[in-house]
Protein backbone atom coordinates (compact mmCIF):
# COMPACT_ATOMS: atom_id res chain seq x y z
CA UNK A 1 0.00 0.00 0.00
CA UNK A 2 1.57 3.30 -1.04
CA UNK A 3 1.98 5.86 1.71
CA UNK A 4 -0.22 8.27 -0.23
CA UNK A 5 -3.12 5.89 0.45
CA UNK A 6 -2.32 6.17 4.17
CA UNK A 7 -2.24 9.97 4.04
CA UNK A 8 -5.30 11.85 5.22
CA UNK A 9 -5.71 14.71 2.76
CA UNK A 10 -7.70 17.67 4.14
CA UNK A 11 -8.51 20.68 1.98
CA UNK A 12 -8.87 23.87 4.04
CA UNK A 13 -10.83 26.42 2.04
CA UNK A 14 -10.37 30.09 2.82
CA UNK A 15 -13.48 31.33 1.01
CA UNK A 16 -12.10 34.83 0.53
CA UNK A 17 -9.50 35.52 -2.13
CA UNK A 18 -6.82 37.07 0.12
CA UNK A 19 -3.84 34.76 -0.23
CA UNK A 20 -2.04 36.17 2.81
CA UNK A 21 -4.96 34.89 4.92
CA UNK A 22 -4.86 31.56 3.11
CA UNK A 23 -1.19 31.22 4.06
CA UNK A 24 -1.95 32.15 7.70
CA UNK A 25 -4.81 29.62 7.75
CA UNK A 26 -2.60 26.92 6.21
CA UNK A 27 0.03 27.51 8.90
CA UNK A 28 -2.57 27.18 11.68
CA UNK A 29 -3.94 24.01 10.08
CA UNK A 30 -0.50 22.41 9.73
CA UNK A 31 0.21 23.33 13.37
CA UNK A 32 -2.33 20.77 14.57
CA UNK A 33 -2.45 18.26 11.71
CA UNK A 34 -1.14 14.86 12.75
CA UNK A 35 1.63 12.86 11.12
CA UNK A 36 0.17 11.42 7.92
CA UNK A 37 -2.18 14.33 7.36
CA UNK A 38 -1.62 16.55 4.34
CA UNK A 39 -3.16 20.03 4.45
CA UNK A 40 -4.11 21.67 1.15
CA UNK A 41 -4.94 25.32 1.92
CA UNK A 42 -6.69 27.14 -0.92
CA UNK A 43 -8.68 30.20 -1.89
CA UNK A 44 -11.19 29.79 -4.73
CA UNK A 45 -10.43 31.52 -8.06
CA UNK A 46 -13.41 33.84 -7.48
CA UNK A 47 -15.06 35.54 -4.53
CA UNK A 48 -14.85 38.50 -2.14
CA UNK A 49 -11.47 39.71 -0.84
CA UNK A 50 -12.92 39.36 2.66
CA UNK A 51 -16.25 38.28 4.14
CA UNK A 52 -17.85 40.79 6.49
CA UNK A 53 -21.50 40.97 5.44
CA UNK A 54 -24.36 38.75 4.28
CA UNK A 55 -23.63 39.92 0.73
CA UNK A 56 -19.97 38.84 0.99
CA UNK A 57 -21.03 35.55 2.50
CA UNK A 58 -23.54 34.81 -0.28
CA UNK A 59 -20.97 35.58 -2.96
CA UNK A 60 -18.37 33.37 -1.27
CA UNK A 61 -20.46 30.22 -1.65
CA UNK A 62 -20.02 29.56 -5.42
CA UNK A 63 -16.24 29.61 -4.99
CA UNK A 64 -16.43 27.13 -2.11
CA UNK A 65 -18.60 24.78 -4.12
CA UNK A 66 -16.30 25.17 -7.14
CA UNK A 67 -13.39 23.98 -5.01
CA UNK A 68 -15.26 20.83 -4.04
CA UNK A 69 -16.72 19.92 -7.44
CA UNK A 70 -13.34 20.68 -9.07
CA UNK A 71 -11.67 18.05 -6.86
CA UNK A 72 -14.21 15.48 -7.98
CA UNK A 73 -13.69 16.29 -11.65
CA UNK A 74 -9.89 16.17 -11.37
CA UNK A 75 -10.06 12.87 -9.53
CA UNK A 76 -8.19 14.57 -6.69
CA UNK A 77 -8.61 12.48 -3.53
CA UNK A 78 -9.64 14.84 -0.72
CA UNK A 79 -10.68 12.99 2.43
CA UNK A 80 -12.35 15.95 4.15
CA UNK A 81 -12.86 19.70 4.04
CA UNK A 82 -12.71 22.68 6.39
CA UNK A 83 -14.58 25.87 5.55
CA UNK A 84 -12.23 28.42 7.07
CA UNK A 85 -14.52 31.41 7.54
CA UNK A 86 -16.34 32.14 10.79
CA UNK A 87 -19.74 32.45 9.16
CA UNK A 88 -19.45 28.80 8.02
CA UNK A 89 -20.65 29.88 4.55
CA UNK A 90 -22.02 27.19 2.24
CA UNK A 91 -21.51 24.46 4.85
CA UNK A 92 -24.74 22.56 4.15
CA UNK A 93 -24.36 22.79 0.36
CA UNK A 94 -20.74 21.65 0.66
CA UNK A 95 -21.89 18.61 2.62
CA UNK A 96 -24.19 17.60 -0.23
CA UNK A 97 -21.27 17.67 -2.69
CA UNK A 98 -18.24 16.45 -0.78
CA UNK A 99 -17.55 12.73 -0.46
CA UNK A 100 -15.84 13.24 2.90
CA UNK A 101 -16.85 15.20 6.00
CA UNK A 102 -17.06 19.01 5.91
CA UNK A 103 -16.64 21.08 9.10
CA UNK A 104 -16.98 24.85 9.55
CA UNK A 105 -14.61 26.73 11.83
CA UNK A 106 -17.36 28.35 13.90
CA UNK A 107 -19.05 24.99 14.41
CA UNK A 108 -15.76 23.34 15.38
CA UNK A 109 -14.65 26.15 17.69
CA UNK A 110 -17.97 26.18 19.55
CA UNK A 111 -17.93 22.39 19.98
CA UNK A 112 -14.37 22.53 21.28
CA UNK A 113 -15.23 25.38 23.67
CA UNK A 114 -18.10 23.41 25.24
CA UNK A 115 -15.71 20.52 25.87
CA UNK A 116 -13.48 22.87 27.88
CA UNK A 117 -15.91 24.99 29.89
CA UNK A 118 -19.55 25.79 30.59
CA UNK A 119 -19.65 29.17 28.87
CA UNK A 120 -17.78 30.69 25.96
CA UNK A 121 -17.71 34.13 24.41
CA UNK A 122 -16.92 35.03 20.82
CA UNK A 123 -14.64 37.93 19.87
CA UNK A 124 -15.06 38.76 16.21
CA UNK A 125 -14.28 41.53 13.71
CA UNK A 126 -17.05 43.96 12.73
CA UNK A 127 -20.11 44.51 14.91
CA UNK A 128 -22.35 43.77 11.94
CA UNK A 129 -21.25 40.10 12.04
CA UNK A 130 -22.14 39.54 15.70
CA UNK A 131 -25.72 38.56 14.84
CA UNK A 132 -24.36 35.79 12.63
CA UNK A 133 -22.26 34.50 15.51
CA UNK A 134 -25.35 34.36 17.75
CA UNK A 135 -27.31 32.65 14.97
CA UNK A 136 -24.59 30.02 14.59
CA UNK A 137 -24.48 29.39 18.35
CA UNK A 138 -28.24 28.80 18.27
CA UNK A 139 -28.07 26.74 15.06
CA UNK A 140 -25.45 24.41 16.55
CA UNK A 141 -27.31 24.10 19.84
CA UNK A 142 -24.95 26.20 21.94
CA UNK A 143 -27.18 29.25 22.63
CA UNK A 144 -27.16 28.53 26.39
CA UNK A 145 -23.37 28.18 26.37
CA UNK A 146 -22.64 31.41 24.51
CA UNK A 147 -22.25 34.09 27.17
CA UNK A 148 -21.54 37.02 24.85
CA UNK A 149 -20.29 38.12 21.46
CA UNK A 150 -17.95 41.11 21.08
CA UNK A 151 -16.57 42.85 18.01
CA UNK A 152 -13.15 44.52 17.89
CA UNK A 153 -14.35 46.62 14.93
CA UNK A 154 -11.17 45.85 12.98
CA UNK A 155 -11.99 44.89 9.36
CA UNK A 156 -10.81 41.39 8.40
CA UNK A 157 -8.03 42.56 6.08
CA UNK A 158 -6.67 45.00 8.66
CA UNK A 159 -6.20 42.37 11.39
CA UNK A 160 -2.58 41.84 10.38
CA UNK A 161 -1.77 45.54 10.09
CA UNK A 162 0.57 46.55 12.93
CA UNK A 163 -1.30 49.81 13.49
CA UNK A 164 -4.64 48.04 13.86
CA UNK A 165 -3.91 47.11 17.49
CA UNK A 166 -6.20 44.13 16.78
CA UNK A 167 -4.47 41.81 19.21
CA UNK A 168 -4.75 44.19 22.18
CA UNK A 169 -8.34 45.08 21.28
CA UNK A 170 -9.26 41.39 21.08
CA UNK A 171 -7.50 40.69 24.37
CA UNK A 172 -9.31 43.53 26.16
CA UNK A 173 -12.72 42.32 24.93
CA UNK A 174 -11.88 38.74 25.87
CA UNK A 175 -10.87 39.87 29.36
CA UNK A 176 -14.20 41.69 29.67
CA UNK A 177 -16.05 38.51 28.60
CA UNK A 178 -14.19 36.53 31.27
CA UNK A 179 -14.64 39.11 34.05
CA UNK A 180 -18.18 40.30 33.31
CA UNK A 181 -19.84 37.45 31.42
CA UNK A 182 -18.16 34.55 33.22
CA UNK A 183 -16.78 33.12 29.96
CA UNK A 184 -14.65 30.03 30.62
CA UNK A 185 -13.29 30.02 27.05
CA UNK A 186 -12.87 32.48 24.20
CA UNK A 187 -13.72 31.63 20.60
CA UNK A 188 -11.89 33.72 18.00
CA UNK A 189 -14.45 34.89 15.46
CA UNK A 190 -12.23 35.08 12.39
CA UNK A 191 -9.91 32.68 10.60
CA UNK A 192 -7.49 35.58 10.33
CA UNK A 193 -7.08 35.58 14.13
CA UNK A 194 -5.72 32.01 14.11
CA UNK A 195 -2.15 33.13 14.85
CA UNK A 196 -3.21 34.92 18.05
CA UNK A 197 -4.76 32.05 20.01
CA UNK A 198 -1.73 30.72 21.93
CA UNK A 199 -0.47 34.10 23.11
CA UNK A 200 -3.99 35.17 24.06
CA UNK A 201 -4.50 31.91 26.01
CA UNK A 202 -1.30 32.61 27.95
CA UNK A 203 -2.20 36.23 28.65
CA UNK A 204 -5.80 35.51 29.63
CA UNK A 205 -5.37 32.24 31.50
CA UNK A 206 -8.29 30.56 29.73
CA UNK A 207 -8.51 28.47 26.55
CA UNK A 208 -8.67 30.69 23.45
CA UNK A 209 -9.89 28.62 20.55
CA UNK A 210 -9.00 29.05 16.89
CA UNK A 211 -11.66 27.44 14.74
CA UNK A 212 -9.21 26.47 11.97
CA UNK A 213 -7.25 24.24 14.34
CA UNK A 214 -10.41 22.83 15.93
CA UNK A 215 -11.94 22.04 12.55
CA UNK A 216 -8.82 20.34 11.19
CA UNK A 217 -8.70 18.12 14.27
CA UNK A 218 -12.37 17.19 13.91
CA UNK A 219 -12.16 16.41 10.20
CA UNK A 220 -9.02 14.34 10.81
CA UNK A 221 -10.80 12.33 13.50
CA UNK A 222 -13.95 11.75 11.43
CA UNK A 223 -11.85 10.53 8.48
CA UNK A 224 -9.87 8.20 10.73
CA UNK A 225 -13.12 6.92 12.23
CA UNK A 226 -14.06 6.13 8.63
CA UNK A 227 -17.35 8.04 8.91
CA UNK A 228 -18.70 10.77 6.66
CA UNK A 229 -21.81 12.87 5.99
CA UNK A 230 -25.05 10.87 6.05
CA UNK A 231 -26.54 10.56 2.56
CA UNK A 232 -30.02 9.87 3.89
CA UNK A 233 -32.40 12.62 2.72
CA UNK A 234 -31.08 16.09 3.56
CA UNK A 235 -27.43 15.73 2.55
CA UNK A 236 -27.99 13.40 -0.40
CA UNK A 237 -26.41 14.57 -3.67
CA UNK A 238 -28.61 17.30 -5.24
CA UNK A 239 -30.97 16.21 -8.01
CA UNK A 240 -29.53 17.10 -11.46
CA UNK A 241 -31.09 20.21 -13.05
CA UNK A 242 -30.21 23.11 -15.27
CA UNK A 243 -28.45 26.19 -13.82
CA UNK A 244 -28.82 29.14 -16.19
CA UNK A 245 -26.42 31.92 -17.13
CA UNK A 246 -23.25 32.48 -15.11
CA UNK A 247 -24.07 29.48 -12.95
CA UNK A 248 -24.31 27.10 -15.91
CA UNK A 249 -20.96 25.45 -15.00
CA UNK A 250 -22.46 24.40 -11.64
CA UNK A 251 -24.79 21.91 -13.35
CA UNK A 252 -24.30 18.52 -11.70
CA UNK A 253 -24.16 15.18 -13.43
CA UNK A 254 -25.96 12.33 -11.69
d(Cα 120, Cα 184) in Å, to the nearest integer? 6
At its nearest, how many Å lie between ligand 5HY and the CB of residue 235?
A: 23
Q: Name residue 78's beta-bridge partners.
A: none
User: Could you say whether residue 37 binds ligand 5HY (CB under 6 A)?
Assistant: no
The CB-of-48 to ligand 5HY minimum distance in angstroms stands at: 7
Q: Does 63 bind ligand 5HY (CB under 6 A)?
A: no
Q: Does 209 bind ligand 5HY (CB under 6 A)?
A: no
Nearer to ligand 5HY, 25 or 235 (CB): 25
Site string for ligand 5HY, 81-100 (x = CB under 6 A): ----xxx-------------
Q: How far is the CB of 221 from ligand 5HY (least distance, A)?
A: 22
Q: How many CB atoms lie within 10 A of CB 4?
A: 9
Contact segment (CB under 6 A) with ligand 5HY among 70-78, 124-132, 161-169, 198-206 equals 124-132
Give the separation between CA 248 and CA 246, rounded to whole angstroms: 6
**Among residues 125 and 229, whose Cβ is nearest to ligand 5HY?**
125
Q: Name the minimum Å distance from CB 248 to ligand 5HY.
A: 27
Among 10, 13, 16, 95, binds ligand 5HY (CB under 6 A): 16
* Identity of the residue, 87 or 207, whose beta carbon is nearer to ligand 5HY in the bound complex: 87
Which one of residues 8, 12, 29, 52 is an interface residue with ligand 5HY (CB under 6 A)?
52
# binding residues, ligand 5HY (CB under 6 A): 14
With beta carbons less than 8 A apart as the criterion, state whether 84 and 212 touch: yes
Using CB under 6 A, which of the segments 64-72, 73-81, 139-147, 188-196 binds ligand 5HY? 188-196
Positions in the binding site for ligand 5HY (CB under 6 A): 16, 50-52, 85-87, 124-125, 129, 156, 190-192
Amino acid sequence: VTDSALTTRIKVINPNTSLAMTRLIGTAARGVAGVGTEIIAVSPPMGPASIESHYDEALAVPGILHEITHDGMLGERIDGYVIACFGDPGLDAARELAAGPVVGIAEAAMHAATMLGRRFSVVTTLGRTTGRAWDLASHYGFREHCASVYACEVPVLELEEPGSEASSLIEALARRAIDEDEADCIVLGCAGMADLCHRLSQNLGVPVIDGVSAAVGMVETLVRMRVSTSRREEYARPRPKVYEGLLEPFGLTV
